[in-house]
Chains A and B, each alone.
Chain A
Amino acid sequence: MRKYQILWALLVSILFQPCLAQETVTGAQLKALAQRFAQVQTIESQFVQENHMALLTDPVRSKGKFYFRKNPANLHWQYTEPFENGMVFQDGKVFRLTANGKTPVKGSVARTVIAQMMTWLAMDVERLDKYYRILRQEDCLIFVPRQKQMGDSMQISLWLQEGDLPSIKKLELQETTGDRTILTFMHTRLNQPLPQGVF
């Protein structure tokens, strides 16, 4: 019975391979992508985050909003549900947002997280290409780490919103441990003045 199962799996994978084909994104395509994202200077968006973790009994969902400015680099990332927290990167300093206000963060972890987030939001293609092998599968870009990093290697899938200006529609982090995080962005406003006081 087990032998048939293996054969069946092989057959299915061969038959469906063309449909799931992943192609490497060429240098020219990356350049074009970088040029399009270069036009984006500010982003304001809401998001829903879905976590599937071995550490949680059930998948959980959290919500929030973020504001991003490319130059000078500023980020305000705020969760509103189920907990009110977040981080702000302002004038080279990282602050943690709590229900009671914002407090400076000194650790390198927070800075690393902020740097990573800003790399993705700005779609710093050059930097991403350095650390990830970039593939395309239908309307999705897949980023496979070139080296094992941050403990657990992970694959990141990205769906872009096409329009006059590009933006990220959905982002999925798939870890080797089986944990998964999905971020879906909505009500995204590009290159619009950001509200006062967010930075």
Chain B
Amino acid sequence: MRRWILFHKRLAALLAVLLITLSCFVARSIKLDEDMSALIPSPIQKEMELFSESALHRKTFLGVQATTAQEAQRALMVLQQELAPFLIKPFEPGVEMGIDLLHALPYRFSEQDKEELGDRITPPGLADQMQKNREKLFSLDGFFLRKQVLNDPLDLTQLMIKKLSLFQTAGVEYEEGTLVSKDGLTRLAMVDTTFPAARFQDVRRFDRAFKRAVEKLGNTAQAFYLGAVRYTAENVKAVHKDLVKISILAVIGLAVLFFVFFRHKTALLIYLLPLVILPPAAVVTALIFGRLSGITLGFGSVVAGLSVDYVIYIFFAMCYSGDLPYEAAQRLKKHLECNFLTSAMCFVALFFSGVEVFRQIAVFSLLALSLSLWLTLYVLPAYFTALPKKTAVMYASSQKGLSKREAIFVAACLLLFGAFGVQQIRLNVDLNGLNGFSAKLLEDKKRAEPVLGSAQQTHGLLFVLGNTLDEAQAKNEQLARQLGETWAVNEVLPSIWGQVIRKQRWKNFWTADRVQYTRLMTEEEAAKQGLNAQAFEPFFKGLSQETLPPDTFDFTKIYNPFVSLSDGTYGVANLVPDEKKYEELGNGKDVYFLSSASLQKKLSLAIRYEAITVVIVAFLLNLLAVWGVFRNWKHALLTFVPVITGACMIFGGFALLRMQVNLFVLIFLPLLMGLGIDYGIFQVMKYTHPEQEKLYPNRALLAAGFSTLVGFGVLAVALHPVLKMMGVSALFGISGAALGALFLLPPFLEERK
């Protein structure tokens, strides 16, 4: 291979260009996935799926805030009209709604309804009802109510309305299908979009249309939208802005790095390397997972930083030793393979993570680093020119290190700093911490508060699952019976068996004798009110009929509490108060209770478990790998010194800056382990092989550290909180690891030397 490349340098270069072009071409067709589900650990994926599939989560909230209630009403109407092409036409109750509700009652006739109706069909009850009927006729809306009185003189529809009102959440005001604040100045319309919330191209189009609609509202009202669509829009904006910003900053950083450390045309190959390895790695990762997260792609800059370390070491080895390219590569082969092994072990550990994004990052990084190592050892040296003597001299430097005592003191200080940081760390377990969101979103969420009140905090969703929808409904009914409670879903959308029982109850109630009695009593009381009882004849005829009118009422058009899951099962969502008894019902099998608090608690536990598992696995794998290389426990353990100094810097740094950190900082620890160990290996190799000292100049370690920092550290300017957290962690962690390797490790190794 080496020989072939040496003799066909141009052809090999052409092949590389072709590979890059092809990969870039394929990479263009990869759909970037901004779905938050990829960030969720697998143990709580089911809960997240239930949550994201529930009707409330699928809804988009179009909101307006105005100076007058009328203006708010007008603005919301304008907003809905302007966004109509993106919205599923909302259910509008027509004049036949009353009839539909009346016909729906027999299929939902509960024991409670039976008792209530029994109490109403008495002489005083009917007298009261007839008076109400007469009063309805003499009201302003009598024109509309007249038909209702005619079709339903006993006002049985009221029983159905009571059932529907069970869906109403305490503290939330409804008005004509919209949620309204007490002062009427803020209104929210719950709408369904014609596109899935995770499809970011549609979300962008919607976002643009929304902005145009806002312009039409003028200055009298402020509009906003919330829900899954908004989160996608915010994530898309954040990740896309980040990609541009990070790329620009990384390029600038790399240019600075070139002028500070390299200043030779051969070093330009270092910069070409990421361009060759990243596109194919992204394409293969996307093919393996069927999707590629924007966060994984954002991690490309980190991988770029890591991947160039191998070439940097060879470059500096050539500078100092005067070796020819392939000679330097050959002499550093063991070290580079060891470096690759330790980094790979960290990514292997990450591959066992329950978070899909981390598995994507693991595969992406492993592919890129493998390709980088192979290119560094066998391909790139063919293109290196021998470095002039002057260059080598320019890099030579002497450095006086710390004494052992000083090193111990600094190490102790760092450990204290780290311990202080761990104690002070402020973890943010809010799910929103995983989303990229702007200050504007927070402002809009505040705007919606007068409407939604504390309902989100005080209520949770109780999901009951089944293999079929009917099974889920039946289980839901059984659970409510066990608790002795009445749940809205069971009352309005009973199971097939539930409907059979309720229908039979209706028929048993309306015996011929009862119908006759009710008719006679109604006629008598109606006559007293001047109502023509003959007009009610069709109603009583309907009650006596053996065959019931069909049930045409489809409540799911208004609110759909059913969820269909990816594993083919179904669920019923009940909105219940956030109480312990419901939380205890959750068995993780067919009953799940999800509230904002419980979900955050579960997420926090899952991430902690993830982090601890990954860190332990990475540590063990790395320990095994470095022991395998050095066959010496002390040397193997010393390679972990930069890891510890890096970790101390991270935790201490966060505490010092009073930064609130999201749980994903814990995932950075195995990555830091991989990087830190690389630096540790570099130093152990240098000090344990004095004959090869020229291959390991400190400048090489510094350049490698800075190149990773350029890749990793630029993430600190990202808007997306996960990327930002990684960037800030990298700034502290890599600096700590590099400084630990350069200053703290040598005193312990020099003694051995």
Chain A interfacial positions (CB closer than 8 Å to B):
49, 51, 53-58, 60, 62, 72-73, 77, 79, 82-83, 85-87, 91-93, 106-114, 117, 150-152, 173, 179, 181
Contacts and interface: CB of A to CB of B under 8 A. Distances in A.
A62 B134 CA distance: 12
Nearest to B150: A55
B146 interface: yes
Contacts of A173: 143
Contacts of B532: 54-57
B749 to A, nearest CB: 78
Given A51-B138, A93-B69, 8 more contacts: A55-B531, A60-B138, A62-B138, A92-B69, A93-B184, A106-B176, A111-B176, A150-B95
A107 B148 CA distance: 14
Given A53-B146, A57-B531, A57-B532, A77 B140 contact: yes
Contact of B68 (A49, A72, A106, A111): A72
Contact of B141 (A62, A91, A109, A179): A109
7 contacts: A57-B532, A91-B184, A108-B177, A113-B141, A113-B144, A114-B140, A173-B143
A151 B73 CA distance: 27
A92 B141 contact: no
Contact of B144 (A58, A73, A109): A109
A91 B140 contact: no
The 9 A-B pairs with the shortest beta carbon distances in the complex, nearest first, are A92-B69, A92-B70, A113-B141, A151-B95, A108-B176, A91-B69, A92-B73, A87-B140, A106-B175
B368 interface: no
B512 interface: no
A73 B70 CA distance: 9
B695 to A, nearest CB: 79
Nearest to B93: A108
B70 A91 contact: yes
Interface in B239-271: none
Contacts of B527: 57
Interface in B125-148: 134-135, 137-147
Contact of B138 (A58, A82, A107, A108): A82
B140 A113 contact: yes
A93 B175 CA distance: 9
A79 B69 contact: no
Contacts of A179: 146
B191 interface: no
Interface string B175-190: 1110000001000000
B140 A55 contact: no
Contacts of B184: 91-93
B146 A55 contact: yes
B282 interface: no
A109 B175 CA distance: 11
Interface string B136-164: 01111111111101100000000000000
B13 to A, nearest CB: 72
Nearest to A60: B530
B68 A91 contact: yes
Interface in B52-108: 68-73, 93, 95
Given A92-B69, A106-B174, A108-B93, A57 B530 contact: yes
B68 A79 contact: no
Contacts of A87: 139-141
B535 interface: yes
A171 to B, nearest CB: 12
A77 B143 CA distance: 15
Nearest to A62: B138
Nearest to B533: A57
Interface string B531-565: 11001000000000000000000000000000000
A20 to B, nearest CB: 27
Contacts of B177: 108
B618 to A, nearest CB: 58
A108 B144 CA distance: 11
A129 B41 CA distance: 61
A151 B97 CA distance: 12
Among B143, B149, B176, residue most surrounded by chain A Cβ atoms (within 10 Å): B143
A73 B68 CA distance: 12
Contact of B535 (A55, A77, A85): A55
Interface in B401-454: none
B137 A53 contact: yes
Among B68, B146, B532, residue most surrounded by chain A Cβ atoms (within 10 Å): B146
A181 B143 contact: yes
A56 B144 contact: no
Contacts of A93: 69, 175, 184
A179 B147 CA distance: 12
A184 B100 CA distance: 36
B455 to A, nearest CB: 17
Given A79-B139, A93-B184, A113-B143, A107 B176 contact: yes
A113 B145 CA distance: 11
Contacts of B149: 55
A85 B176 contact: no
A85 B139 contact: yes
A92 B75 CA distance: 12
A90 B534 CA distance: 40
Contacts of B68: 72, 91-92
Contact of B137 (A56, A58, A107): A56
A108 B150 CA distance: 20
A173 B144 CA distance: 13
B87 to A, nearest CB: 18
A92 B135 CA distance: 25
Nearest to A110: B141
A85 B531 CA distance: 19
A57 B530 CA distance: 6
Contacts of B176: 106-108, 111
A83 B95 contact: no
B70 A83 contact: no
A87 to B, nearest CB: 5
Among A57, A87, A181, residue most surrounded by chain B Cβ atoms (within 10 Å): A57
A107 B97 CA distance: 12
B70 to A, nearest CB: 4
Among B95, B174, B177, residue most surrounded by chain A Cβ atoms (within 10 Å): B95
A56 B140 contact: no
